[in-house]
Amino acid sequence: MMRAHESLPFPLAGMRVLDLTRALSGPFATRILSDLGADVIKVEPPDGDMTRAYGSRIGGLASHFTQHNAGKRDICIDMKAAGAVELVLALAEVADIVVENFRPGVMARFGLDWATLHARNPRMCMLSISGFGQEGPERERAAYAPVLHAECGLIDRFAELGKHHAVDFPASSADTTAAVHGVIGLLAALLMAARTGQGQHIDLAMINTQFYHDDFLSMVLSGDTPPAGSGEVWTVAGGRMVVATTFSYLWKKVSRHGGLADPGDEDGRRAALAAYFASFPSWEAVTAMLDSLNLAWGRVRPWREAVHTNPSVGPREVITQIDDRVGGTRPTTQAPYHFSAARAGVRGPAPYRGEHNAEILRDWLGYDADRIATLHVTGVLSAQEDAQP
């Protein structure tokens, strides 16, 4: 097993993260921090994070919620109740990091804006993820991943250049890239805070991160047309494969190797290459030829099967098993960080709503049982009473 060194420390062990996020961009960022060893406290409203309804349930926990919240502790606070804001402020006062992904202005309406939190905890670093930034002409717009994919031109580009029907692609790139850059920004801010004693606020807009991640944006800015993709799919013995290069370079390399006559036009060259690839008796024979030409290839795996059939998934520990809360285990993603002298990885199951109310307030604030019970009686705290599968 690659993660056999259980005695190694987590890089962020002892770090306290107050997670005020929901849906995906924020929870994905705080899942990363948790996997790196931080104590992540998810603050959840009484009606729960919307992703608790996404996917099949085991032990009352949906698959999507589980993936992005495994390893965290959960406290359920009704922000409308008297005393709720004061409780969140108390938690923020002892946190190293606060993460939120509400629309700009929401935190200020609760009295939890950066200026307020910074005044009470100057060394704390805060990450705010939003669609269009804390300042700007579109700051108040609702923004989920498909909105950013559309606004950044990606849906239209994929449709036009790939000759597809215009539809959002089935992966929340705008959310996950924002999450990764949010963590990068936080780690940089923490390093600076260690030198200066002063934390800072990171205003991270998905519009920025999505354009930043567009590796062909310079071509767009120059008036050029980006390639439709970085590789074409070919049918060969044993399945379909993509060869990761431009068509012109692929034709140059393979036609020379195979002694193919040049038909003189692109359609003819595609037909010639397709016939040549189909002439190989086996998958191994085709890949051996491509390897000899130093051409990178990949098997086009059915999407429902890819995680089960790729030979690197097991050895690289892409998937791990966590407690399913009903006596068994369930699979989820494992952290991708393989350190030489530290460890990372999911450290527990996904939490139920309000599951850790008492232990969080004991651990972070030193509250006794009577004080915690009072917060339940007054409606500040609540918890999921049972787990319906």
> 232-236 and 201-205: which strand pairing?
unpaired
What are the catalytic residues? Answer: 175
Q: Could you say which residues of the chain have pLDDT below 50?
A: 1, 387-389
Report residue 298 as tokens.
């990949």
How far apart (Å, rounded) are the C-alpha atoms in residues 143 and 128? Answer: 14
State the DSSP string of 59-76.
TTEEHHHHHHHTT-EEEE
Q: How many residues does the chain have?
A: 389
- pLDDT tens digits along 127-145: 999 999 999 899 999 888 9
Instruction: Report the Cα 66 to chain-centroid distance in Å.
Output: 13
pLDDT of residue 1: 44
Number of neighbours of residue 83 by Cβ within 10 angstroms: 15
pLDDT of residue 389: 41
**DSSP assigned state of 349:** P
R_g of the chain computed on alpha carbons? 25
Number of neighbours of residue 50 by Cβ within 10 angstroms: 12
Residue 288 vs residues 23, 203, 278, 283, 340: alpha-carbon distances, Å: 45, 49, 14, 9, 33
Buried b (16+ CB within 10 A) or exposed e, 114-139: bebbbeebeebbbbbbbbbbbeeeeb
How far apart (Å, rounded) are the C-alpha atoms in residues 39 and 35? Answer: 9
The torsion of the CA quartet 163, 165, 166, 170, rounded to 10 degrees, works out to -100
pLDDT of residue 206: 95
**Are the C-beta atoms of 124 and 198 separated by less than 8 Å?**
no
The CATH architecture that domain 16-216+317-377 belongs to is 3-Layer(aba) Sandwich (3.40)
Q: What are the structural domain ranges in the chain?
A: 16-216+317-377, 232-299
